[in-house]
């Protein structure tokens, strides 16, 4: 019977400990998969509407052509969508400079009784694409294609 | 592996490797930052604030790289009992914490004009803040162990357990809806225009050299500390 070298024994113990650690980490991340999300997407809001007056965040893309400004000049209406569902949003106040149609937004507020999301605050979401101003006249999809073509 | 177990051999190598890393790093990072801040184009949506990218992204990578260094050195210490591994882990903690802090501060400055807020508790930002607190904990623990003379295996275990946060930071924007954007650079692909990407990569390599130089300098400092203490003890015994 040959004894295992202490070095190898330590290595085996460490590998077992690491597997247990990674397993625990993955389990924790899995358990947090809903709670740790920063916002709900429109299809989740439509499928499970939150109670009225519960503070929630709604995140998605501002639908093209949907931004309408009221005559008072500060109240805006727009649609937030995720490709599966759209939620109408109303907001009164100053919008972030990156708030444009076709771009991401996170609205903080609550669901109104008529199915309109009443936002108290808007956060602009920047996507992962970085494009110089020279390419700005292209649409988002075109610019994405140029970037992925030139950066392979 | 044990060629460098002899601190003397390590020191003779580190004596010239330290200034070399620092000089190369300062030239590369300085050049890339100067180019990035003055000549690189402005972004389509973010405008001039895109320039913070050249500091923020390398700082984020090195903040995570610092803890990866601690974790790898801790494994080497626990399994192979390499005497320099303990010292390397302790040396990497402070620059790692500094880069993590730079990442959080520059990110916050960028977030105000871009998102419209200094801070949100989304997955990415929160896990990065936890990394900074882990660094504080590690630095305090390693310092206490060093002063009180307890086993250096205690901070090594902390270093390995804390490493679970690194993949969480990396995946946080994929697993959970977050305000922070998803990764722009994945294996072999980039959503960053080459005009931004090249100075970014050069800055990242430059900052990595600076990081390496600082770790080597701190390892030399810790070794010198150990030597001084041993000498003082011998003198006290002789007297």
Report pLDDT digits (tens) over B177-201: 888 988 888 877 888 888 889 999 9
Is there a single domain that holds both residue A117 and residue A48? Answer: yes
Q: How far is CA B231 from CA B223, B224, B234, in A?
A: 12, 10, 5
Q: Which residues contact B15 (CB under 8 A, 6 or more apart)?
A: B220
CA nearest B58: which of B43, B36, B76, B80? B36
| Closest in A25, A124, A133 to B41, CB measured | A133
Tokens (6 digits) for B152 = 């250096």
Residue linked to tokens 């946060």 = B165
Question: Are B177 and A39 in contact (CB < 8 Å)?
Answer: yes
Position B215 scores a pLDDT of: 97
Asked whether the predicted pLDDT for residue B18 surpasses 90, the reply is yes
For residue A1, is pLDDT > 50?
Answer: no
Taking CA atoms, A106 is separated from A47, A120, B138, B139, B153, in Å, by: 19, 11, 36, 37, 45
Residues of B in contact with A38 (CB under 8 A): 120-123, 176-179
* Statement: residue A117 has pLDDT above 80: yes
- A41-85 residue pLDDT tens: 898 888 888 887 788 999 999 998 888 888 888 899 999 998 888
Contact (Cβ atoms closer than 8 angstroms) between residue B14 and residue B206: no
Q: Which of B116, B173, B185 to mutate to test the interface with A (most CBs of A within 10 A)?
A: B116
Q: Which pTM does this prediction carry?
A: 0.87
Phi–psi pair at B41, nearest 5 degrees: -70, 160
A104-111/B185-186 β-pairing: unpaired
Same-domain check for residues A48 and A121:
yes
- Which candidate from B43, B121, B160 shows the least CB-CB separation from A131? B43
Q: What is the pLDDT of residue B75?
A: 94
- The interface predicted TM-score of the complex, written ipTM, equals 0.77
Q: Which two tokens stand for residue B237?
A: 């015994």
Site from B78, B177, B192, B201 to mutate, A interface, most A CB atoms within 10 angstroms: B177
Instruction: Tell me if B80 and A106 make a contact (CB, 8 A cut-off).
Output: no
Domain that holds residue A109: 42-125
Percent of chain B with pLDDT over 90: 64
Range with lowest mean pLDDT among A107-121, B3-17, B31-45, B105-119: B3-17
Q: How far is the C-alpha of A112 from the C-alpha of A124, rounded, in Å?
A: 22
- In chain A, which residue's Cα lies nearest the Cα of B117? A123
Are residue A46 and residue A120 in the same domain, yes or no?
Answer: yes
- Do A32 and A103 lie in one domain? The reply is no
CB nearest B176 (choices: A36, A100, A122): A36
pLDDT at B187: 75
Separation CA A83–CA B5 (nearest Å): 59
pLDDT at residue B133 in the model: 97
CATH number assigned to the domain with residue range B7-40+47-183+197-238, chosen from the 4 options 3.30.420, 2.60.120, 1.20.120, 1.20.1630: 1.20.120
What pLDDT band is residue B1 in, cutting at 50, 70 and 90? low
Residue of A nearest to B125 (CA): A38
| Confidence class for position A142, pLDDT limits 50, 70, 90 | low
Asked if B177 lies within 8 A of A124 by C-beta distance, the reply is no
For residue B34 the two structure tokens come to 């100067």
Average pLDDT, chain B: 91
- pLDDT score at B217: 96
- The pLDDT score that the predictor gives to residue B200 is 93
pLDDT band at A141 (very low <50, low <70, confident <90, very high): low
């Amino acid at each position: 019977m040959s004894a295992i070298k202490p070095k190898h024994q330590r290595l085996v113990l460490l590998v077992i400990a690491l597997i247990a650690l990674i397993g625990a980490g993955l389990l924790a991340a899995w358990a947090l998969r809903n709670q740790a999300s920063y916002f709900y997407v429109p299809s989740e809001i439509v499928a499970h509407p939150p109670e009225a007056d519960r503070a929630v965040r709604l995140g998605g893309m501002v639908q093209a052509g949907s931004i309408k400004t009221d005559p008072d000049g500060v109240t805006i209406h727009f649609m937030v969508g995720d490709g599966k569902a759209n939620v109408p949003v109303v907001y009164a106040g100053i919008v972030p400079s990156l708030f444009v149609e076709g771009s991401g937004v996170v609205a903080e507020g609550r669901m109104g009784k008529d199915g309109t999301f009443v936002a108290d605050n808007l956060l602009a979401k920047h996507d992962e694409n970085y494009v110089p101003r020279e390419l700005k006249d292209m649409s988002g999809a075109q610019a994405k294609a140029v970037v992925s073509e030139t950066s392979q | 592996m044990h060629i460098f177990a002899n601190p003397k051999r390590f020191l003779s190598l580190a004596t010239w490797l330290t200034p070399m890393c620092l000089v190369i790093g300062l030239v590369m990072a300085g050049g890339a930052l100067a180019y990035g801040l003055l000549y690189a184009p402005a972004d389509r949506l973010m405008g001039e604030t895109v320039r913070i990218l050249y500091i923020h992204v390398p700082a984020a990578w090195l903040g995570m790289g610092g803890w990866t260094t601690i974790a790898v050195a801790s494994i080497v210490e626990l399994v192979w009992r390499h005497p320099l591994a303990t010292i390397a882990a302790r040396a990497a903690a402070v620059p790692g914490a500094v880069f993590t802090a730079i990442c959080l501060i520059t990110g916050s400055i960028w977030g105000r004009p871009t998102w419209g807020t200094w801070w949100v508790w989304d997955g990415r930002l929160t896990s990065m803040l936890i990394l900074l607190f882990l660094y504080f904990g590690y630095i305090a623990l390693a310092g206490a162990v060093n002063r009180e003379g307890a086993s250096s295996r205690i901070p090594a275990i902390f270093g390995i357990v804390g490493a679970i946060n690194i993949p969480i930071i990396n995946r946080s924007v994929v697993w959970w809806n977050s305000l922070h954007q998803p990764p722009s650079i994945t294996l072999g692909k980039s959503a960053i225009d080459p005009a931004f990407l090249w100075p970014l990569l050069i800055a990242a390599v430059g900052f990595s050299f600076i990081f390496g130089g600082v770790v080597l300098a701190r390892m030399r400092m810790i070794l010198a500390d150990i030597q001084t203490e041993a000498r003082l003890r011998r003198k006290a015994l002789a007297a």
